[in-house]
Structure 1
Amino acid sequence: MAARSAVGEGAVTWETKTVEGPDGLVCSVDRLASEAGTAVLRAGGNAVDAAIATSAALTVTTPHMCGMGGDLMALVAGPGTGPAQPLVLNASGRAGSGADPDRLRAEGHRTMPPLGDVRSAPVPGCVDGWLTLHGRLGRLPLAEVLAPAVELAERGFPTSPMLAFLLPKLAGVTGCDELVEAGVAAGESLRRPGPARMLRAIAAEGRAGFYGGEFGERLLEAGAGEYLHEDLDRPLADWVEGLVLEVWGHRVWTVPPNSAGVLALAGAGIAERAGLGADPDDPAWAHLTVEAARLAGLDRPRGLFEGADGRELIASDRLDARAAMVDPQRTVLRDDRYAGGGTIYLCATDGDGMGVSLIQSNAKEFGCHVAVPGTGVLLHNRGIGFSLEPGHPAEYGPGRRPPHTLSPTLVTRPNGSLRALLGTMGGDSQTQLVLQLLARLLVTGDDPAAVIGAPRWVLGTEGGTNFNVWEQPAGHRVRIEAHAPASWRPGLEERGHRVETARPDPAGFGHAHLIDFPADGPPRGAADARSLIGAAVAV
């Protein structure tokens, strides 16, 4: 089935289809990657194998969004994971032993340098994430799981419109020859021999083939003292206890801090307590979700860091107090007294009912615009989440993980059965978008196509980036998609919000995907048409 939203003048309709997958289903930002995942399912792999295969393919086809030089987080539920709760993996990298905040401050930096500086690139955790997931839960040999990605890299693949549009941003970046010199237009074939070689090394030698091989040695050279051998020897993927909130008759799970997923849970808890209704066309729906997200986000600047107590941030008394601040007729954050991004999300399920919610990221487009020489791998810039304020709990320093916007989400029923896998890209807007997806799924009761294709809002600040939205709460403007209900803009403005109707923007409102597990039917999913080439592919 398909969902088509109402279209206003100049608006773009994101036509989204619900796909059923009784024998397995993969939703991702790229059809080629989704097909890589389902090929592994057909070969006898499980949902974890499919998720890794899809993720690996995306490192080849979408280097503007993710890569082996980035980070990964995931939740897994279903057969083989235990009955009590999902398994949760944090494979976000740590700053190298050479991390020196005083040196950056002495150079005049007040925030982490986002581009052209390797110091904003913690040791990437993506590959450790694959290996840890596969080692515990994978079914097929790793070489078979990575084979579709290797084939795409070696034989070539059609360049997506978004990749072709963004490739000129790499002009002048050393080590990007295979991307820059290709000079490809949308639809033209692009080969990536460097990543193919890295993937083959991982398939043959595992961790030693990547962190202890060509990539690791070249990373040490590129780091010029930022990293030491022991930084690469240290495993970067940890099984952690999931963070959960009971809301709207379900249990919603995410990765605990340093993940920002806690803000999505807090937003949902505030919205439920504030009386969020089931009609998204009502401007009160938009207002209450905006207010819930903003009030949850107040904890972001100083409350999100590695080791933060996520349970404290979603404690009932805390959420009650925040919900009590909500005025249904007026925005509360009128002053400061209350003081695309480069990410992919994918979800996969198999015929046995296992589900994987996985997110992988460069942070900002091509990351920090530093390539590991000779490998074709660009480094992420997740280090921009660090603070340079002396004594800040998230201060840049050796061995530390930065605060992450990554917010993969998994939903279970009270009896423990799997209800949904969902998530999105979008920097600081991820938790805002996850809140809206949860509300449409669990309160309104929309099917996957309607949830994913529905109009969205995101918060922005004047002259800001999508990674500093929470620095000035009073400066927020609400950007709404042009196909939003006609009532949204006047209804929000009447309540004191600054509102902007966005021009067609395929990257500014997330690329979300969803697999729903109905109690009385097969799994069904939808991929986001905003990604232009995304697809939900069934076995």
Structure 2
Amino acid sequence: MTVDYRSAALYPSRRSPVMARNVVATSQPLAAQAGLAMLAKGGNAVDAALATAIALTVLEPTGNGVGSDAFCILWDGRELHGLNASGRSPAAWTPDRFPNGMPERGWESVTVPGAVSAWVDLSSRFGKLPFDALFEPALRYARDGFLLTPVIGALWARGAKVLKDQPGFAEAFMPGGRAPQAGELVRRPDIARSLALIAETRGEAFYRGVLAQEIAAFARANGAVLTEDDLAAHENDWCGTVSSTYGDVALHEIPPNGQGIAACMALGMIKHLRLERFAPDSIEAIHLEIEAMKLALADAEAYVADPAAMTDVTAAHLLDEGYLESRARLVDEGRAQDFGAGAPKAGGTVYLTAADESGMMVSFIQSNYAGFGSGVVVPNTGIALQNRGLGFVTTPGHPNRVGPRKRPFHTIIPGFLTKGGAPLMSFGVMGGPMQAQGHLQMVLRTQVWSQDPQTAADAPRWRVTRGLGVAVEDFAGESVIEGLRARGHDVTVEAPDASFGFGGAQLVAKVDGGYVAGSDPRKDGAAVGY
């Protein structure tokens, strides 16, 4: 990637790329600084990423928490690793339990959380600092308080309106009967207790100890079937990555059950569409990107599931070069087409990336799914439980049909780029249906059009919805909006902060002597370094 960092900003953001030998980027500035503090203490990028992730459970509960799932791709200095720390359904879940489809909220949407196990496994295998040291910033903010930031404050208020009647929610997240407002001091002593127990026991309290007992007891009290045995049975997979190439650059994603494969598929189609002929913000380029993404998302919805259930159509089938070329031939450069279903459900997520001067780079994501997740909060723990059960379907014969001890289709995905087998960029775009779509846009902007990470994060985005539908940010420009409509797209125009539907990007690109980082202006976050 050859970029002129002296060039003027192309898009309406006042942010400049951050350049340093050690960097952290995420959606909440205090969390980014928590990671940087670990690097300053002699920790590595894994320590920084984990301290950031743990702090985010306190500082940004609208998108993640101790009750989240997580995925990670990391370069350890020599090779790439992929970790799937998503949880499975309770053993008692069968299709008959859900005659009206999968619920979005409440106990019947709760699967086993995997984030805590990700912290433990990553720290044990790659970290340098003591496990309990990673919790120090989070515990300080939980006990002493932090000032609520504007974007998170708006999401908190929105979530409270929907979830105030869910078990335990109001007590944990509506002190004084209302959601806290931006600028207010927020203390979370309940989550401090849980984090301290997790730190002291290296996660055992959550899966086999006192916290597991409290989670399971609250489930029984509310007629749910998540048990101590379900929590104790949880285990992660070191799963490697799936990948697709564009020229000499490879995009790496976590394999199914995640939707990252859709970004790989779309990129694999686009290289047959010769996108480099066009400018990055041209109607011609954007139209081709949208059409390829629609095809990829349609396939993801039809086939992606727990890999143990993908027996007829596997990840290898979906990434086969001949298949992707045949899909690309379906694209018409002059008109939009409806390729069927394929836009994932909305959700709330946090993404972070960290890199250190030894060469280690970490791409990490954790999420409660639909903003505060299920809405269920275990009393006296601050643990908001995810609603990943919503990712299942009840359609007979579908590989993603709900069943016992099964991983659902997942929206959260960390991304990573390599070139010639060497690390190039660690990145992600948090935000349910936006994630695979955002990954594609970040890859093309940085690698095809040589935009720096901050410029790529600043640029206007599009988002496929359903059928011919596509949402476009208002500053994409009238020519793009009308050009898409002229090709048959059903365009809705949104302000970047109207629905938080265009996600939040964080990117760290490797350059000689260090890194260049960018952080999305649509979020409260920051890229920091030294």
TM-score by length of 2: 0.92
Secondary structure of residue in 2 paired with 1:266:
helix
Equivalence for 1:256: 255
User: Retained in 1: the 8 A contact 2:298–2:340?
Assistant: no
Secondary structure of residue in 1 paired with 2:306:
coil
* Aligned residues between the structures: 505
Using the alignment, how far apart are the partners of 2:341 and 2:202 within structure 1?
Answer: 50
Using the alignment, how far apart are the partners of 2:393 and 2:14 within structure 1?
Answer: 40
Equivalence for 1:489: 481
Q: Does residue 1:146 correspond to 2:152, yes or no?
A: no
Using the alignment, how far apart are the partners of 1:98 and 1:288 within structure 2?
Answer: 44
Secondary structure of residue in 2 paired with 1:270:
helix
The residue type equivalent to 1:104 in the other structure is F
Deviation at 1:481, TM superposition (A): 0.7
Equivalence for 1:121: 110
Secondary structure of residue in 2 paired with 1:245:
strand
Equivalence for 1:157: 146
Equivalence for 2:514: 522
Secondary structure of residue in 2 paired with 1:281:
coil
Q: Note the alpha carbon deviations across 1:63-118, whole angstroms, 9 max, x for none.
A: 11000111000001032xx44xx11000000001121320221xxx1x210012x1
Q: 1:445 to 1:504 in 2, by over 3 A?
A: closer
Equivalence for 1:470: none
User: Retained in 2: the 8 A contact 1:3–1:453?
Assistant: no
User: Retained in 2: the 8 A contact 1:513–1:526?
Assistant: yes
Using the alignment, how far apart are the partners of 2:233 and 2:19 within structure 1?
Answer: 41
Equivalence for 2:440: 435
Q: 1:74 to 1:336 in 2, by over 3 A?
A: closer
Q: Note the alpha carbon deviations across 1:432-484, whole angstroms, 9 max, x for none.
A: 111011000110010111111011000124xxxxxxxxxxxxx2311111111
Using the alignment, how far apart are the partners of 1:3 and 1:197 within structure 2?
Answer: 48
Using the alignment, how far apart are the partners of 1:335 and 1:89 within structure 2?
Answer: 31
Equivalence for 1:209: 205
Deviation at 1:156, TM superposition (A): 0.5
Q: Does residue 1:396 correspond to 2:390, yes or no?
A: no
Equivalence for 2:87: 93
Q: Does residue 1:194 correspond to 2:190, yes or no?
A: yes
Equivalence for 1:294: 294
Using the alignment, how far apart are the partners of 2:243 and 2:339 within structure 1?
Answer: 31
The residue type equivalent to 1:115 in the other structure is R
Using the alignment, how far apart are the partners of 1:508 and 1:405 within structure 2?
Answer: 14
Pick from 50, 53, 66 the counterpart of residue 52 of structure 1.
50
User: Retained in 1: the 8 A contact 2:13–2:521?
Assistant: yes
User: Retained in 2: the 8 A contact 1:3–1:450?
Assistant: no
Q: 1:336 to 1:221 in 2, by over 3 A?
A: closer
User: Retained in 2: the 8 A contact 1:363–1:381?
Assistant: yes
Q: Note the alpha carbon deviations across 1:154-211, whole angstroms, 9 max, x for none.
A: 1100112233332433423332323201542211110111111111111111122222
Using the alignment, how far apart are the partners of 1:521 and 1:487 within structure 2?
Answer: 40
Secondary structure of residue in 1 paired with 2:408:
coil
Secondary structure of residue in 2 paired with 1:296:
helix
Matches within 5 A, 1:362-441: 362-414=368-420, 416-441=421-446
Equivalence for 1:39: 37
Deviation at 1:15, TM superposition (A): 3.4
Matches within 5 A, 1:236-385: 236-277=235-276, 278-307=278-307, 308=310, 309-333=314-338, 341-385=347-391
The residue type equivalent to 2:137 in the other structure is P
- Root-mean-square deviation (CA), in Å? 1.8
User: Retained in 2: the 8 A contact 1:128–1:207?
Assistant: yes
Q: 1:331 to 1:103 in 2, by over 3 A?
A: same
User: Retained in 2: the 8 A contact 1:78–1:418?
Assistant: no
Equivalence for 2:24: 26
Q: Does residue 1:459 correspond to 2:460, yes or no?
A: no
Using the alignment, how far apart are the partners of 2:164 and 2:338 within structure 1?
Answer: 42
The residue type equivalent to 2:197 in the other structure is A
User: Retained in 2: the 8 A contact 1:479–1:501?
Assistant: yes
User: Retained in 2: the 8 A contact 1:367–1:379?
Assistant: yes
Q: Note the alpha carbon deviations across 1:110-132, whole angstroms, 9 max, x for none.
A: x210012x121111000001101
Using the alignment, how far apart are the partners of 1:455 and 1:141 within structure 2?
Answer: 41
Deviation at 1:249, TM superposition (A): 1.6
Deviation at 1:334, TM superposition (A): 7.0
Deviation at 1:229, TM superposition (A): 2.3
Sequence identity of aligned pairs in percent?
A: 36
Deviation at 1:3, TM superposition (A): 6.6
Using the alignment, how far apart are the partners of 1:29 and 1:101 within structure 2?
Answer: 37
Pick from 159, 174, 178 the counterpart of residue 167 of structure 2.
174
Using the alignment, how far apart are the partners of 2:522 and 2:325 within structure 1?
Answer: 35
Q: Which runs of 5+ in 2 are unaligned?
A: none
The residue type equivalent to 1:265 in the other structure is C
Matches within 5 A, 1:495-506: 495-505=487-497
Using the alignment, how far apart are the partners of 2:109 and 2:388 within structure 1?
Answer: 6
User: Retained in 2: the 8 A contact 1:3–1:15?
Assistant: no
Deviation at 1:336, TM superposition (A): 7.8
Equivalence for 1:471: none
Using the alignment, how far apart are the partners of 2:481 and 2:152 within structure 1?
Answer: 32
User: Retained in 2: the 8 A contact 1:261–1:431?
Assistant: yes
Using the alignment, how far apart are the partners of 2:144 and 2:240 within structure 1?
Answer: 41
Using the alignment, how far apart are the partners of 1:75 and 1:430 within structure 2?
Answer: 15
Equivalence for 2:526: 535
Secondary structure of residue in 2 paired with 1:343:
strand
The residue type equivalent to 2:510 in the other structure is F
Q: Note the alpha carbon deviations across 1:32-85, whole angstroms, 9 max, x for none.
A: 000000001100110000000000000001111000111000001032xx44xx
The residue type equivalent to 1:157 in the other structure is F
User: Retained in 1: the 8 A contact 2:64–2:367?
Assistant: yes
Q: Note the alpha carbon deviations across 1:134-164, whole angstroms, 9 max, x for none.
A: 1100100011111111111111001122333
The residue type equivalent to 2:228 in the other structure is H
Using the alignment, how far apart are the partners of 1:476 and 1:380 within structure 2?
Answer: 31
The residue type equivalent to 1:517 in the other structure is K
The residue type equivalent to 2:42 in the other structure is G
TM-score by length of 1: 0.90
Using the alignment, how far apart are the partners of 2:341 and 2:302 within structure 1?
Answer: 15
Residues 172-181 or 40-49, more deviating: 172-181
Equivalence for 1:218: 214
Pick from 503, 506, 527 the counterpart of residue 510 of structure 1.
503
Secondary structure of residue in 1 paired with 2:465:
strand
